[in-house]
Structure 1
Amino acid sequence: MTPFSAASDIAHAQIVDLFAGPGGLDVAAHWLGIPVVGIEWDREACMTRRRAGLETCEGDVRTFSPADFPDATMLAGGPPCQTFTVAGTGAGRVALDAVLKLVEAMAQGDDVSSRIAEFDDERTGLVLEPLRWALQAHKAGASYEAIILEQVPAVLPVWEAMARVLRGIGYSVVTGVLRTEEFGVPQTRRRAILIARHNSSVVLPISTHRPYRKGANRESGASDRKPWNTMAGALEETRGYEFSVVSNYGSGGDPKARGRRNCNEPAFTVTGKISRNRVFDANGVEVERFTSAEAGRLQTFPLNFPWRGSDIAQQIGNAIPPRLGAHILAAAFGISDLLDEQFFVQVIDSGWSRAPEISDLVGVP
Structure 2
Amino acid sequence: MDRTFTAIDLFCGAGGLTEGLRQAGFHVLAGNDFDEVAGQTFAATHIDAKFVPGRVQDVSEATLLKAAGLRPGQLDCLVGGPPCQAFSVYNHQRGLHDERSQLFREYLRLVEGLNPRWVVMENVTGIMSAGGGEAVKAILSGLQKLGYYVEFRTLRTEDYGVPQERRRVVFIGNRIGMPIIWPEQTHGTSDGLKPFVTIQNAIGDLPVLENGEDLGVRPYRHAPKGDYQTMLREGSKRVLNHSAPRLGPINIERLKHIPQGGSWRDIPFDLLPEGMKKAKRSDHTKRYGRMSWDGLSCTVLTKCDIHWGAYIHPEQDRAITVREAARIQSFPDWFKFEGSRTEQYIQVGNAVPPLLGRKIGKALLETYAIDERHENQQPMRAVG
Q: TM-score, normalised by structure 2?
A: 0.67
68-77 or 39-48, which deviates more: 68-77
Q: May I ask how many residue pairs the two structures share in their alignment?
A: 283
* Residue 308 (str. 1) matches residue 338 (str. 2): yes
* Residue 205 (str. 1) matches residue 221 (str. 2): no
The letter of the residue matching 1:238 is L
Other structure's SS at 1:309 match:
coil
Aligned counterpart, 2:350: 318
Give me the CA root mean square deviation: 2.9
Contact 1:153-1:191 at 8 Å conserved across structures: yes
* Residue 186 (str. 1) matches residue 163 (str. 2): yes
For the residues of structure 2 that align with 1:151 and 1:252, how far apart are their CA atoms? 31
For the residues of structure 2 that align with 1:166 and 1:278, how far apart are their CA atoms? 42
Aligned counterpart, 1:73: 76
Residue 50 to residue 229, structure 1, CA distance change in 2 (3 Å): same
Residue 150 to residue 247, structure 1, CA distance change in 2 (3 Å): farther
Contact 2:16-2:354 at 8 Å conserved across structures: yes
Other structure's SS at 1:262 match:
coil
Q: TM-score, normalised by structure 1?
A: 0.70
* Residue 59 (str. 1) matches residue 89 (str. 2): no
Q: 1:146 aligns with which of 118, 122, 125?
A: 118
In the TM superposition, what whole-angstrom CA distance separates every residue of 1:9-49 from its partner, at most 9, and x where no partner exists? xx332211110000001111221232211101112211212
Deviation at 1:275, TM superposition (A): 4.8
* Residue 278 (str. 1) matches residue 256 (str. 2): no
Residue 245 to residue 279, structure 1, CA distance change in 2 (3 Å): farther
* Residue 12 (str. 1) matches residue 4 (str. 2): yes
Residue 323 to residue 160, structure 1, CA distance change in 2 (3 Å): farther
Contact 1:24-1:321 at 8 Å conserved across structures: yes
286-295 or 172-181, which deviates more: 286-295
The letter of the residue matching 2:84 is C
Deviation at 1:264, TM superposition (A): 0.9
Matches within 5 A, 1:241-256: 244=260, 254-255=283-284
The letter of the residue matching 1:324 is L
Aligned counterpart, 1:103: none
For the residues of structure 1 that align with 2:368 and 2:62, how far apart are their CA atoms? 31
For the residues of structure 1 that align with 2:299 and 2:100, how far apart are their CA atoms? 22
Contact 1:330-1:336 at 8 Å conserved across structures: no
Aligned counterpart, 1:134: 111
Contact 1:24-1:320 at 8 Å conserved across structures: yes
- Of Structure 1 and Structure 2, the greater strand share is in 1
For the residues of structure 2 that align with 1:327 and 1:86, how far apart are their CA atoms? 25
Q: What are structure 1's unaligned runs of at least 5 residues?
A: 1-6, 96-118, 138-142, 211-220, 338-365
For the residues of structure 2 that align with 1:252 and 1:24, how far apart are their CA atoms? 36
Residue 231 to residue 317, structure 1, CA distance change in 2 (3 Å): same
Aligned counterpart, 1:100: none
In the TM superposition, what whole-angstrom CA distance separates every residue of 1:51-82 from its partner, at most 9, and x where no partner exists? 32443111111112322233233111101111
For the residues of structure 1 that align with 2:280 and 2:43, how far apart are their CA atoms? 36
* Residue 35 (str. 1) matches residue 27 (str. 2): yes
* Residue 124 (str. 1) matches residue 124 (str. 2): no
Aligned counterpart, 1:85: 88
For the residues of structure 2 that align with 1:26 and 1:68, how far apart are their CA atoms? 19
In the TM superposition, what whole-angstrom CA distance separates every residue of 1:171-195 from its partner, at most 9, and x where no partner exists? 2221010000001001110000001
Deviation at 1:326, TM superposition (A): 0.9
* Residue 226 (str. 1) matches residue 226 (str. 2): no
Identity value in percent: 31
For the residues of structure 2 that align with 1:198 and 1:124, how far apart are their CA atoms? 25
Other structure's SS at 1:133 match:
helix
Residue 152 to residue 256, structure 1, CA distance change in 2 (3 Å): closer
* Residue 262 (str. 1) matches residue 292 (str. 2): yes
Contact 1:14-1:35 at 8 Å conserved across structures: yes
For the residues of structure 1 that align with 2:201 and 2:368, how far apart are their CA atoms? 24
For the residues of structure 2 that align with 1:251 and 1:82, how far apart are their CA atoms? 27
Residue 129 to residue 253, structure 1, CA distance change in 2 (3 Å): farther
Other structure's SS at 2:122 match:
strand
